[in-house]
Amino acid sequence: MMSSQLSVARLLWRAENVNGARINTAWTSDGVRSFTYRDLVSDVRDLAGALASIGVKRGSRVATMAWNTRQHLAAYFAVPALGAVLHTVNHRMPVEHMAYTINHVSDEVLIVDEDLLPSVEAMRGRIPTVRHLIVVGEPGAIDDFDQVIPYDQFVSGASTHGTFQEVDENTAASICFTSGTTGSPKGVVYSHRSIVLHAMAISTKGGVEIDAERAYLLATQMSHVNGWGVPYAAALQGARLVLPGPHPTPERFLDLIHGERPDTFVGSPTVAALMRDEHLRRNCGYDLSELKTMWLGGQVPPVALARWWAEQGARVVNGWGMTETSPMGTFSPGGSMQGRPLPLFELRVVDESGSPQHWDGQTVGELEVRSPWVAREYLDDPRTADSFRDGWLRTGDVATVHPDARLQIKDREKDLVKSGGEWISSVDLENALMIHPAVSEAAVIAIPDDTWQERPLAWLRLDADVTDEELRTFLATTLPRFWLPDRFVRVDEIPKTAMGKIDKADIRRQHRENTGQPTSTDQASTVSDGRDHNVAVIPTRSDTTSGL
């Protein structure tokens, strides 16, 4: 057989020669603009040539701080096609974390959207490796770098188009970082091979089935885990991308659904809920009839939200993944549990000694995974030793696997509640709470108890008034009585991480500051692994961990 390397450049060849006439759309300040895959490849060649002209070569590190735009999409392909490494900086992180990741990677070039320049200003003098600042828009007065230049001027000034490099498929192509909610973020390096295989896997029937006949509104940030791999899979398959541009709002997403007619929304339950609320506020003024799928990840979508979208004709699909898994590991087209493993993705549940457990749907243990697109280490980070064992990634999730290979996440190890010697799953309890029509969001933490060791405390964001006793009565129909929280805390908003996920570390901090009482995981949270999990479970009344 031929030894043909899997690389991002191969995806570009297909995008240009097979899918070249297929049209994508992007929101801009001048309105929605269309461009073909052939146009995209031309953009990629221009950017690659410009980067090469300032010395970007194999192994160079190029960072982006950008929204979901045509220019960012070009960087997704141009940087690795040169043999360089793309670092997508999550601009929702705290500034100190952004600076940490840029320094950890030693980025030489930073491509930044104009409206994100205040974050660059805040890092002034703290990112010494960056020599070239390329601004999509107007650079303003920043002059701390060897070169500061507008993007359009930069790409138009290149004397030649870039030449796509033949690289070893195991060469680094991109780097993303975990959220680092309590510790410093951890870097995950994706190879050309892992990107291509992940794109192929999520395109299969065992994955999300990305194909040329579908259009994807990409709401999940391209700065987060390679945009869930969708840009690469879309180029491979010729699927249409709808890019929402800078500072997207629920109104803009609805406008794009109404006007551009995508059939799939890719994003978080939080954004999906805000879109629902905006649609209702506008007296259902948006045409959602073409939308058939809501691919939601990052946190548990409330069952009421999933049902509302189903009533609009869009099914909610979900899965499981992490930054370390590129991110997709399992997928459930029917919203049942976390679904089955993608092709070429292996998983197992192990006990404390590391021995694999039976797939009986009852036995629980720590979930471990391996795959061609699962990381084998963290970038120059000693925490690698704690997270990888015998070729498997230790996820820190407590799970069980059913005989038909369906994965069921029970909890994070550090989020379990041990009450009276028995374990309570915070995930199952949160799911059960969110079935109640008054509960929009729920987050459960463990607090110390003199009698029972620990008890669950539930933070709730409500859509309607409900008493504590009404909630306990409701929960008692599906859960053991000792699971029922002694206390409920009603809040206007539940804290979220930079990735838009519920931030239990912040909830514990606020509880400690507001009450003067510790939580059971205060000590553990100070050494959190910072892994970025992408879990969505949609419960029913009869099974609080299964799908609609």
Q: Which residues pair with 166 in a beta bridge?
A: none
Please say if 25 is a catalytic residue.
Answer: no
Q: Are 214 and 120 in contact (CB under 8 A)?
A: no
CA distances from 458 to 216, 268, 443, 517 (A): 35, 22, 6, 15
Catalytic residue among 16, 169, 324, 454: 324
The catalytic residue among 278, 423, 478, 496 is 423
pLDDT (tens digit per residue) in 473-507: 999 999 999 999 999 999 999 998 877 889 999 99
**What's the pLDDT score for residue 530?**
40
Q: Which fold has domain 415-525?
A: GMP Synthetase; Chain A, domain 3 (3.30.300)
225-411 has CATH 1.10.3720.10 classification: no
Cα–Cα distance for residue pair 116/62, rounded to 1 Å: 17
How far CA 98 is from CA of 126, 178, 276, 404, 458, in Å, comes to: 10, 11, 32, 42, 32
* 447 close to 520: Cβ distance less than 8 angstroms: yes
Cβ atoms of residues 234 and 37 within 8 Å: no
Distance CA 151, CA 223 (A): 18
pLDDT in tens, 29-65: 999 999 999 999 999 999 999 999 999 999 999 999 9
CA distances, 217 to each of 22, 205, 309, 487 (Å)? 15, 20, 16, 40
Cα–Cα distance measured from residue 207 to residue 358, given in angstroms and rounded to the nearest whole number: 24
Output phi, psi for 70, to 5 deg.
-65, -40
Long-range Cβ contact pairs of 509-516 (< 8 A, separation 24 or more): 511/445, 511/447, 511/457
If 0-12 CB within 10 Å is exposed, 13-18 middle and 19+ buried, where does residue 142 land? middle
pLDDT digits (tens, 9 = 90+) for 435-459: 999 999 999 999 999 889 899 999 9
User: Quick check: is 178 catalytic?
Assistant: yes
The rounded percent of the chain whose pLDDT value lies above 90 is 79
Q: What is the pLDDT of residue 536?
A: 33
Nearest to 326 by CA among 176, 445, 142, 136: 176
Report the pLDDT value the prediction gives residue 499, as an integer from 0 to 100. Answer: 76
Within 8 A by CB and 6+ apart from 96, the residues are none
Task: Look at residue 531 in the predicted model and tell me its pLDDT.
Answer: 44
Query: Which of these is catalytic: 64, 171, 178, 293?
Result: 178
- Per residue in 240-295, pLDDT (tens digit) is 999 999 999 999 999 999 999 999 999 998 899 999 999 999 998 899 999 999 99
What residue type is assigned to position 30 of the chain? D
What's the pLDDT at 519?
80
28, 251, 260, 418: which is the annotated catalytic residue?
A: 418
329 pLDDT exceeds 80? yes
pLDDT tens string 150-196: 999 999 988 777 789 999 999 999 999 997 655 799 999 999 999 99
Q: Where in the chain is the domain with CATH 3.30.300.30?
A: 415-525
How high is the pLDDT of residue 318? 87
* Confidence category of residue 533, pLDDT binned at 50, 70, 90: very low
**Cα separation of 302 and 539, whole Å?**
8
For CATH 3.40.50.12780, list the domain ranges present in the chain.
8-18+35-191, 225-411
Tell me the CATH class for 8-18+35-191: alpha beta
What is the reported pLDDT for 300?
Answer: 63
pLDDT-derived band at 541, boundaries 50, 70, 90: very low
Residue 476, C-beta contacts closer than 8 angstroms, at least 6 positions apart = 484
Catalytic-residue membership of 101:
no
Query: Is the per-residue pLDDT at 547 higher than 90?
Result: no
Q: Is 292 a catalytic residue?
A: no
121-158: per-residue pLDDT in tens? 999 999 999 999 999 999 988 888 999 999 999 999 88
User: Phi/psi of residue 321, each to 5°?
Assistant: -175, 175
